[in-house]
Structure formats: structure tokens, C-alpha cells
Amino acid sequence: MAGRTYLGIPRERIPWAPTIDPDACIGCGDCLEMCPNNVFVLDEDEGKMKVATPDNCIVLCDKCGPLCATEAISFPEKEETKKLLQRLLRELREATLAAAAQGGAP
């Protein structure tokens, strides 16, 4: 079975996911309640939130970050991610065109 994609790009090629600063996190769970994508989980032993499934994070979504009262959640730079997406989309188009010219799939 094929993995998840974003705009046709394999999701694992896109480094977009939250990072939690364990020193700042108080384990309140606001991020867990806000995010419908099962990105976060509470580490009950440490009483801190963890990023459990980073590829479940929607690319360029950062809505949980400002919600965090202690500013423990951060994300990669959006502009850099947008540039990467443009490059990956170009590569995907080129591969698709090359495969079509040879009569196959990319």
C-alpha cells in the first residue's frame, strides 16, 4: 500500500511537524485536544506531551503552536518549507513528464 502524500509528494519527504520543548511543556494537553490528527500523545511517566506521529501533521499547519500557553511547540520555518515543496513539485513534474515520454509511470 502506498504511503501518504501531500500534493503527490510522499509525506515522509516533507519535514513538517511540531517539536515540543520538554523543559517548557507542562503536559496540559491543549495541543492534543486541538489537533484532530493524533499527532500528540501524553507521556504519562514524564507528564509531558510528545509528538507521536509527526507525519500526521498537516503540512504547513501550525495552529497548535500559538495555542500553547508555555510556547513549548515550535515548527520548521514556513518559507523554507514552501521552497522545499516547490522544488519537490518540480522534481515530481519532471519525473512524470520523463516517464510519460517513455510510455510509463513515474
Domain 16-75 falls under CATH 1.10.940.10:
no
User: Which pLDDT score is estimated for 98?
Assistant: 86
Global pTM value: 0.85
- Residues in the chain, overall count: 106
Per-residue pLDDT tens over the stretch 18-44: 999 999 999 999 999 999 999 999 999
The domain spans of the chain are 16-75, 77-106
Give residue 100's pLDDT band: very low, low, confident or very high (50, 70, 90).
confident
Angle at 38 between CA 37 and CA 41, to 5 degrees: 150
Per-residue pLDDT tens over the stretch 51-77: 999 999 999 999 999 999 999 999 999
Q: What is d(CA 53, CA 76) in angstroms, rounded to the nearest whole number?
A: 16
